[in-house]
Structure formats: structure tokens, C-alpha cells
Amino acid sequence: MNMKRKSPRKKGPIFEVARRLAKNKSAMIGLAIVILLIVVAVTAPLFYSYDEQIIKQNIGNRLQSPNAENLLGTDALGRDLLGRIIYGSRISLYVGFTTVAFAFVVGGTLGALGGYFGGIVDNIIMRFMDIFLAIPGTLFAITIAAALGSNIRNLILALAISSVPGFARILRSSVITVREVEYIEASRAIGASDARIILNHVIPNALAPVIVHTTLNVATIILTIAGLSFLGLGISAPTPEWGAMLSDGRTYLKTHFYMSLFPGVAIIMTILSLNLLGDGLRDALDPRLK
Amino acid sequence: MTNPLIEVKNLKKYFSTSSGMLHAVDDISFSIDKGKTLGMVGESGCGKSTTGRALLRLLEPTGGEIYFEGQDLAHLNKKEMRKMRKELQIIFQDPFASLNPRKTVSQTILEPMVIHNMYASNKERQEKVLEIMEIVGLAERLVNVYPHELDGGRRQRIGIARALALEPKFIVCDEPVSALDVSIQAQILNLLKELQDRMGLTYLFITHDLSVVNHFSDDIAVMYLGKIVEISSADDMFLKPMHPYTQALLSAIPVPDIHYKSERILLKGEITSPIEPPKACRFANRCAYAMDVCTKNEPKLVQLEPGHWVACFLHSDEIEE
């Protein structure tokens, strides 16, 4: 009858997750905004010259209300707000994603090793994580900024270090769950090495909760950066940073409220979209909702 | 018993718990000849699965020796043991838990061949995968399917195919059919039997279902709380069960005859705790024939008839020291 029938198309678990995510409206809105943000951030240099329009002061054009020339108006130094917000997204996303990538790799590795091997390895790693967990992230970042100077690299380092324990804990707990499943024993029975078992069998099956944490953590980091910059401890002028711009606008809040409003809206949109996406992922990855 | 493929001597597996050492497998010995099947029966928690896993060193044995073709597996180092795993495989009970949900059928069957670097090229291995799939009765079109798309019987066939991929000599079947529907059980059992005849495989067949083991095994070992209480040929075991526990087990097999009046032996009392068990017969407090000596000494497994070993004071006075 159907001798020629090809084997069915691959429909792996990832496909399933994507399908369930696509059904979730708020998650898709979140995803759309995140993608839009990334596209805008990446293409920003096509529309604005960083040196000429974003950094360079133009006092004659200061404190303009939104108009055809400057869609969102200009700031106290005559710079275009829209351009600065767009360039600000580059900073926020860059810091957010690099920090989380670092924390993901380091924390994930430590958590996976601790969870898989257990015993003394686990104990040593997790006690160190507990020590880091006892230091508040923001405080740690302030300390680092104060000690080593507040530039982007130091901020990323400080925030990444304080994010590591979270990743380690989450991956560790899901690795412990997966480690006990029979297919791991089956892999050992066919002679697979520990490295192979961890990379091929344990991690792919233990990653779901970490993916959710990653998304939500990017949002947290962006918020922390904005908060620090608002206080003047994060990224310093003239770099366009949302938190710093929000702070700059404070002085003119009564007369030129939009100077604070627009960066604030940018922060809210970013955090909200990442959180929506994270929540959607959590639901999509939960096997109980299948 | 001329040339055993597997010979287990004084195998022990203890787990340390907060209230003491749990004697999951306590000093058991048996051997399996090449091409034969030893059925291992007993109730849940009696240590039969632990025996299977300790034998393959998926659990590190606490003590004892495991000879495979004369080589002691228990004292191989990690690397040597990994190589040895090619010869010794296991089929798991739960086909839903024993397959990685993120691997397709072919990936699952391919992996053991890749690990042991079998065959010259990937293409050759792919062909081998299809060959094995055919042997275990999986249609070729399922090659790129994920386990969650398949039913229990097919999944179990994948598990069998994975074990066969290494062309092992010995397979531990850990309740391979007890998670399956009755109609599928027979298919899988027939498949295992067929594979044994075809490839000369040797099985340790672990089950709690005596009716399954009868059809399948050459010899049967009955376990109770970490001990082998009786071991004999399958026919002997069913004709002349000697240990009271074996008798009770056998009486529980349903007989498909409406006029048959079964004399069911009901076991009363609680199972002795396997944590730091006393030096006594472990079955004594549930045994209808328990005597004084049973609670004071531990019976030794003695050969009463050729090939028929029993550990019970009803049949012998020998004491396990």
C-alpha cells in the first residue's frame, strides 16, 4: 500500500514545546517585543551615528518637546531621545545577555557536576554557592564598582558572579531528578563515560527549568543595571543607558516629563516582555500540562 | 553445570541507611551456563533487581565475586569494566523510563555502537541499526520517531534493540514484561526466546511472575529478603517445591480451570526488616512450619537432590555460619 511512505517527520520534544508556546498569546506578545528589541538594537547604527547624534551635545537644540525632527524630543544637552533610547537597548541587552550567558555556563557547569556526582563534590560546590548567595547582588555590584571602577565590564562581572549560584542550584536540582531515571542507568550499561552521560543524556533533559530561569534572569539583570545607573553607580555618562537617562530626566520632571517617561517605558516594556516570555516558556516546558 | 558463562560467588550488596545497613542482597551464589536462562523470582523488595544490577556493576557490589568467562568482574577497574559492558547488557522493566525522550529510535540504538567504536563507518552502523530493528520487529519507518510516539511494546523492543546492538553474550532481563499489557507480554517473551535461540544468548530473567518464568527458564532461583532460598531446574521447582516460601508462591499462580480447587497457602505476618537482619531464617516469622531452630540459626543452602538446593531446616540441619 504505502511502501514508499517516508518515515514520519521528526517531531521531537522541542517541536512540542514550540507548538505549545505558540498557543500562548501573552508569551507570543512577549516574544514579539523581545525580537523587535533585538532587531532595533542590532540595526541601530544604520539609523543613527553614535558619535554625531547620540553622544555629541547640541546645546542649541536642548529640551525640545517631541516633534517631527526629534520624535521623542531631546534631552538637556540637545541629544535625540529616541536615538538614545535605541542605543540604550544595545547596552541593556548586551549587559543582560552577556551576564546571563556567563552565569549560565559557569553556574550550569558547577550545578551539573554537583548534581551528577553528588557527595563531596556536590557539598564543596554548593557550600561555595551558599556563600555567594549570602551576598546581595546589587550590593556586590556596588562594591565592585566602588573598588574597581564602574565600567561595563566590571558590572557584568559583578552581576554574573552573583547570578551564578541561582543557575547552579536550579540545574543541580533538575540534574538530580534526571540522574535517577532509568535511561541514565541504561547509558551506563552500554558503557558510556560520565562526560558523555552528562552532556548527552542528563543536561538536555535537565535544561527546561534553566531556560525559564535564564529568560527571567535577563530581565532582572537589565533592571538591576538600570537601577544602578539611576543611582549613578552603573554605566556613566555619556553612554546612553536607560536608568541613567531616567535619572537625568528627574531634574526636569515638572517641565519636561517625557525625558523620564520614555526611558521608563522602554525599561518596563523590556522587562514585561521577557517576563511574559519566561512565564510562557515555563508553562510550555511543564510536562504535566501536556 | 560444566561450563558456566556467569558464576556469582557470595555476592553482597548492602546499602547504608540511617537505621543501619540494609542487606539488599546477602551472600548469594549461583551460576548460569552458556545459552541458558536462570529465572529469578521473589516478591518486591527481595533484592532480585539489585542482584541484576550488582552483577553488571551498575551498583557496586559490597562483596563477592562475579566471574564472566572466568574473569572476575567485581575487581575490574572502571575503564576495564566499561569495555566489558559490551558483553553484558540489561533490559529494563519500564520502557517509558529507560529510553531518553530526546533521542530518536535510531539514535538510541546507534549510541552503544558509537561508544564501543563498532564497525568501520557511520554508514555501516546505520545499516546495522536497520538490521537490528528488523530483528526485534520494529518497522523501518519508525527509525526517526521519538519514544513518546510509541506504545509500550514497541518501546520495549527499542530497549531490546539497544541491548542487542553490542552483540552481548549475557543479558539481564529485569522484569522486561511486567510493565506491559498481557497481550504484548507474550510477544516480547517470544521475541526474547527467539533471540536466545538465534544468538545463543544467556539470560538472567528477573520477575515476580512465576507463570512467566516457568515457560522461559531452564533453572529457577527463588529469592526471599536478599537470600536465595531455593534453586533448581524449572521442572523440579514446579513439581517438587521444597521450601515453604516456594510452595506458597507456587500456590498463588492462577490456574485457568473452573473446577480446580486450589489450596492457596496464605502467608501471614510481616516481612522481616532487611536492615541488620538477625542470624535466623528470614522467612521464619511468616512460615507455617517454623520451629525453634528457625529463629535461632540461619539455614544453609544445601543440595538435597542433584541440582536442587534448598535453605530450610525442614530438609536439612546444616547451619550457615
Q: Does A186 contact B86 at a Cβ distance shorter than 8 Å?
A: no
Proportion of chain B above pLDDT 70, given as a percent: 98
CATH number of A71-289: 1.10.3720.10
* Nearest CA-CA distance, residue B255 and chain A, Å: 34
Query: What distance in Å separates residue B116's CA from the closest CA in chain A?
Result: 8
CB contact under 8 A, A183 and B99: yes
> For residue range A268-283, what is the model confidence (pLDDT) as tens digits?
999 999 999 998 988 8
Residues in chain A within 8 Å Cβ distance of B116: 190-191
SS3 for B13? Answer: strand
Q: What is the DSSP string of B224-278?
A: ETTEEEEEEEHHHHHH---SHHHHHHHHTS--S-TT----PPPP-SPPPPSBS--
- How confident is the model over A102-139, as pLDDT tens digits? 999 999 999 999 999 999 999 999 999 999 889 888 88
Is B2 or B267 the better-scoring residue by pLDDT? B267
The stretch B130-136 carries a mean pLDDT of 93
H-type alpha helices, chain A: 13-23, 25-47, 81-117, 119-133, 137-148, 152-179, 182-189, 194-196, 203-206, 208-230, 242-250, 258-285
- Asked if the Cβ–Cβ distance from A7 to B92 is below 8 Å, we say no
CA distances to A194, B47, B208, B255, B286 from B266, in Å = 47, 22, 17, 16, 10
Burial B92-127 (b: 16+ CB within 10 A, else e): bbbbbbbbbbbbbbbbbbbbbbbbbeeeeeeeebbe
pLDDT of residue B195: 94
Which among B101, B104, B115 has CB closest to A190? B115
Query: B63 pairs with which residues across the strands?
Result: B12
Nearest chain A residue to B97 by CA: give it.
Answer: A182
pLDDT bin (cut points 50, 70, 90) of residue B2 is: low
The pLDDT tens digits of the residues spanning A20-43 come to: 888 889 999 999 999 999 999 999
Interface test with B, best of A2, A11, A117, A183 (most B CBs within 10 A): A183
Confidence of residue B1 (pLDDT cuts 50, 70, 90): very low
Question: Which one of B111, B133, B172, B178 would you mutate to disrupt binding with A, by most A Cβ within 10 Å of its Cβ?
Answer: B111
Closest chain A residue to B52 measured between Cα atoms? A189
Task: For residue B228, list its beta bridge partners.
Answer: B223
Does residue A3 carry a pLDDT above 70?
A: no
Q: Is the pLDDT of residue A16 over 90?
A: no
CB pairs under 8 A between A and B: 82
Q: Which residue of B has its CA nearest to A206?
A: B102
Residue A286: is its pLDDT beyond 80?
Answer: no
Q: Which of B92, B112, B141 sits opposite A7 (nearest CB)?
A: B141
Cell of B19: 537505621
Query: Tens digits of per-residue pLDDT, B191-235?
Result: 999 999 999 999 999 998 888 888 889 999 999 999 999 999 998
Contacts of A121 (CB under 8 A, 6+ apart): A113, A114
DSSP string covering A194-261, please?
HHHIIIIIIHHHH-HHHHHHHHHHHHHHHHHHHHHHHTTSSSPTTS--HHHHHHHHHTTTTT-THHHH
ipTM for the complex shown: 0.86
Instruction: With CB atoms and an 8 Å threshold, state whether A191 touches B141.
Output: no
